[in-house]
Every structure is written in structure tokens, then in C-alpha cells.
């Protein structure tokens, strides 16, 4: 497949910049390494600046053309590799940003649709609305809900929304964090999953935020887990699964039967 003029220009630019870097940066750095090796084993090693000035100009002589070509080639490869990596990174970042924006737009519609087998509301992450204090036991409730979605077909957990679909926000939860910002909130969610369900499951959740009625709301997008997920409660491992608009605990027999079907 033929490359577009833009791609050809992109490749040529990074090749050229890389070639210049190879001659003007990589070559001198390599000479510094050589000088350092010589100075370790010789008491008569020349001054670094004298050593560099005596050898850098040699690259301009015809008999040292192969050296110039070698550093130009190395630099061009480095430049091209960096260019491809940076371009892919920017494209991935842009796609990720667009995906976050698309998900954010969905939050008000999900709230209006109410709780379903794929959507659950939670008022808070760890702040007890009734007792007006931090209640770490609520983190287990969050873990339980996420486990249910993991073991089913995935789903969405909205935090900062009460049972009636009213936005209560994340302000109280944020005030309990060492760094009261949304990034810390997202890390706390990952910590809850890692601690209670398993660190290998963190890549299967994704958190985005949106303003609803001028209040922050978190949307935790949960993909189906690749394995059976158990919540550790005391000395017991409890299996939860999403059923209708609630999360149900299965006994051992039910859990084994369900797992055979779900992960067959």
C-alpha cells in the first residue's frame, strides 16, 4: 500500500532529524564513553575537551566517511523509531480522550434510565450518608457490586448517584482522600478492586467522570472478568453475580455450576 505524502514527509523529517542527532549527539557521547574507559586504565589519558576536539573533526575526512555514515544511519534509525512511537502514542491518546468523552456523555442518559441488570447506583464510595462519617465497610459494598458485574456480562457502576437517580456528587468522598481530586478517587477504586478481588482485574475496569447538576459523578465501566471472581469476607470467599437490578450471592453448588457455564 502506497504511503501518503503526509506520511512520507513525516518519515523523512524524523529520518533527517535522527541523522543529525546521530552525528552531533550520539557520536560525541560515544567518544565520551571511550575517553572514560581510557582514563580508567591510563594515567596519561588526555583532557576530555582535547580528546573530543581531536576526534570529532576526523569524521569530516574522506577516509573516515564510513564512520560518518554509520552514525548517520544509527541516528536515522533512532529518529524514525522515536517518530513512529510518538505518533502512535499521540493517536492512542487522542482515541482514548475521545472514548472518555463519549462515555461521559452517556452518564445523564444512564441515570435517567434507572438501575438495570447492567447499571447500578451508589451514593458514595466510603462516606456513610446516614452516619455522616467515613465507613470503610462501604468499600466492600462497592467491591461486591463490581464482583457481580465481573462474574456476569459486565456493567456500569455510577458513584455519586442515589437510588432515586439524584446526583449527590463525590465531594464527601473526595474529602476523605489524602489528595482530594478525581485522580485519587480513581486510584482508590483500583485499590479496592486490587485488595478485595485481585490486582489482575484492574485492567478490566475503567473510570470516567462527568458533571451532573453541577456535581461530579463517577462512572466505573466493568468488563466481564476472564475468571471467576470471589470477594474475601473474613475467612470465606463469596461468589456474587448480577441478577436483575441487584447483586446476588450464590452458594457453593450454584457458584460451581454457574462458573462451569460462564467460563467453559
Which pLDDT tens digit goes with each residue over 46-105? 777 777 777 777 666 666 677 778 888 888 888 888 877 877 777 766 655 655 666 667
Asked which of 44, 64, 96 is the last residue of a domain, the reply is 96
Verify that 172 and 203 share a domain, yes or no.
yes
Taking the C-alpha atoms of residue 104 and residue 49, their distance in angstroms, rounded to an integer, is 58
Verify that 89 and 124 share a domain, yes or no.
no
Residue 102 lies in a domain: no
Domain count within the chain: 2
Residue 103 lies in a domain: no
Verify that 186 and 90 share a domain, yes or no.
no
Verify that 89 and 138 share a domain, yes or no.
no
Residue 204 lies in a domain: yes
The position carrying cell 478481588 is 197
Specify the pLDDT at position 1. 47
Residue-wise burial string across 91-110, b where 16 or more C-beta atoms lie within 10 A, e elsewhere: eeeeeeeeebeebeeebeeb
Q: Are 241 and 151 in contact (CB under 8 A)?
A: yes
Q: Which domain holds residue 225?
A: 114-262
- Mean pLDDT within 40-48: 71
Does residue 244 have a pLDDT over 70? yes
Q: Are 184 and 178 in contact (CB under 8 A)?
A: yes
Strands 119-122 and 155-159: parallel
Q: What is the mean pLDDT of the chain?
A: 85
- Mean pLDDT within 217-225: 93
Verify that 20 and 85 share a domain, yes or no.
yes
Question: Exposed, middle or buried: residue 177 (CB in 10 Å: 0-12, 13-18, 19+)?
Answer: middle
Verify that 77 and 118 share a domain, yes or no.
no
Bigger pLDDT: 106 or 62? 106
Verify that 69 and 149 share a domain, yes or no.
no
Amino acid at each position: 500500500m502506497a504511503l501518503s505524502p503526509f506520511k512520507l514527509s513525516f518519515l523523512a523529517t524524523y529520518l533527517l532529524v535522527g541523522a543529525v542527532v546521530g552525528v552531533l549527539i550520539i557520536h560525541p557521547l560515544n567518544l565520551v564513553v571511550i575517553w572514560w574507559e581510557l582514563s580508567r586504565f591510563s594515567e596519561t589519558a588526555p583532557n576530555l575537551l582535547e580528546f573530543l576536539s581531536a576526534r570529532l573533526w576526523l569524521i569530516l575526512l574522506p577516509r573516515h566517511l564510513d564512520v560518518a555514515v554509520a552514525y548517520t544511519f544509527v541516528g536515522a534509525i533512532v529518529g524514525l523509531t522515536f517518530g513512529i512511537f510518538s505518533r502512535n502514542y499521540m493517536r492512542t491518546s487522542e482515541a482514548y480522550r475521545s472514548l472518555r468523552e463519549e462515555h461521559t456523555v452517556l452518564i445523564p442518559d444512564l441515570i435517567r434510565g434507572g438501575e438495570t441488570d447492567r447499571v447500578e447506583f451508589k451514593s458514595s464510595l466510603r462516606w456513610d450518608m446516614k452516619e455522616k462519617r467515613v465507613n470503610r465497610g462501604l468499600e466492600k459494598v462497592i467491591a461486591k457490586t463490581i464482583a457481580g458485574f465481573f462474574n456476569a456480562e459486565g456493567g456500569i457502576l455510577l458513584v455519586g448517584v442515589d437510588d432515586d437517580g439524584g446526583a449527590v456528587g463525590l465531594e464527601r468522598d473526595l474529602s476523605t482522600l489524602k489528595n482530594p481530586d478525581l485522580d485519587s478517587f480513581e486510584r482508590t477504586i483500583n485499590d479496592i478492586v486490587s485488595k478485595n478481588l485481585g490486582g489482575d482485574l484492574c485492567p478490566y475496569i475503567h473510570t470516567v467522570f462527568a458533571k451532573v447538576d453541577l456535581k461530579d459523578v463517577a462512572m466505573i465501566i466493568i468488563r466481564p472478568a476472564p475468571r471467576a471472581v470471589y470477594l474475601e469476607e473474613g475467612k470465606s470467599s463469596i461468589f456474587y453475580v448480577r441478577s436483575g437490578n441487584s447483586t446476588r450471592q450464590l452458594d457453593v453448588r450454584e457458584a460451581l455450576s454457574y462458573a462451569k457455564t460462564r467460563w467453559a
